Structure 1
Amino acid sequence: MGPFVREPEKEPFLRRMRLSDLGAAMEVDRRSLPKPWSERIWRDELDSPFGLYLVLEQDGRVIGQIGVRSVLDELHITTIAVLPEHRRRGHARALIGAALAAYPDARFVHLEVRPTNRTARALYASLGFRETGRRPRYYGDEDALLMTLDLSEGPFGG
């Protein structure tokens, strides 16, 4: 290729998060969330036998992440974030789909979202999540909306 021809960007791919990804995952959080997790919380989550953490990598760089906890037939999306410059390309949808695919026997999926995060709320609603409750002062400065997906009804289920 000549000096003025740009090589096409490699497609992003999903994989399990490794401890070596911790710094990159924390950077995604820092650039995406008003109150990112501390290193201690991340380490505790990665050590948990009930969690699955995935990263979306492109060109050797982590551009997104998702964490899910599993208890019986219920999942809880604990964290999801995509770097601002990589948003609106279906990455969050792909992260959610991959995390849910890892638990084929799951029946319900829960998550919390800030009421002011209209973009995230619209994404979750488009995937079949419904508002099912409110957690007062969940974020300290703001309540959280609890959203639930019944996989027997939603686009990821039957």
Structure 2
Amino acid sequence: MAVRPARPADRSALDALQSHLPEPSPSLLAAGDDVGTILVSTDGDRPVGYLLAVDSPAEGHVSELVVAPDSRREGRASALLTAYLRTRPSGTRVSLTVAPENEAARSLYERHGFAVAGRRREFFVSGDALVYERTA
């Protein structure tokens, strides 16, 4: 398992992976290289997961993190998150949002030092989101 920056040739694989998200943002993925960071987890050279973050000098926001169903429970999401956190300058605030009922994701984020910082009402079409934050 490896994590690397996304390449233009990964686009169709990333589009397919994005379909596993409950509320994907195709326009954000299309603009990903212009607004931030896209890292991929690979099986061989085939992307089986990705992390998309919107970056600024003072903060980063993990907008999408997805792993293909047949590649889950292998530590890929954790490796993507770890790799992204390493790219952030020390002292940078990193945030993300997650559905309150997504226990697997919440557990992952908490293992990586994120803590609940707030709640956004009706953030998702399906309902509220918890805002998690930590300092890189």
Mapped contact 1:134–1:144 kept (Cα < 8 A): yes
* Cα distance change on mapping 1:62 and 1:77 into 2, 3 Å: same
Say whether residues 1:15 and 2:18 are aligned partners. Answer: no
User: Percent sequence identity over matched residues?
Assistant: 32
TM-score, with length taken from structure 2: 0.91
Structure 1 equivalent of residue 67 of structure 2: 82
RMSD (CA atoms): 1.5
Cα-to-partner distance string for 1:92-130 (whole Å, 9 max, x where unaligned):
111011111112334321000011111000111111111
Question: Of residues 24, 27, 39 in structure 1, which corresponds to 2:13?
Answer: 24
Structure 1 equivalent of residue 126 of structure 2: 141
SS at match of 1:88: coil
Aligned 1:102-141 pairs, distance under 5 A: 102-141=87-126
Distance, in Å, in 2 between the alignment partners of 1:34 and 1:17 is 22
SS at match of 2:123: coil
Q: Which has the larger radius of gyration?
A: 1
Distance, in Å, in 2 between the alignment partners of 1:52 and 1:44 is 10
Cα shift at 1:41: 2.8
Cα shift at 1:69: 2.0
Say whether residues 1:57 and 2:46 are aligned partners. Answer: no
Gaps of 5+ in 1: 1-11, 152-158
Amino acid corresponding to residue 69 of structure 1 in structure 2: V
Mapped contact 1:129–1:149 kept (Cα < 8 A): yes
Cα shift at 1:55: 0.7
TM-score, with length taken from structure 1: 0.79
- Matched residue pairs, number? 136
Structure 2 equivalent of residue 44 of structure 1: 31
Say whether residues 1:35 and 2:23 are aligned partners. Answer: yes
SS at match of 1:145: strand
Gaps of 5+ in 2: none
Structure 2 equivalent of residue 8 of structure 1: none
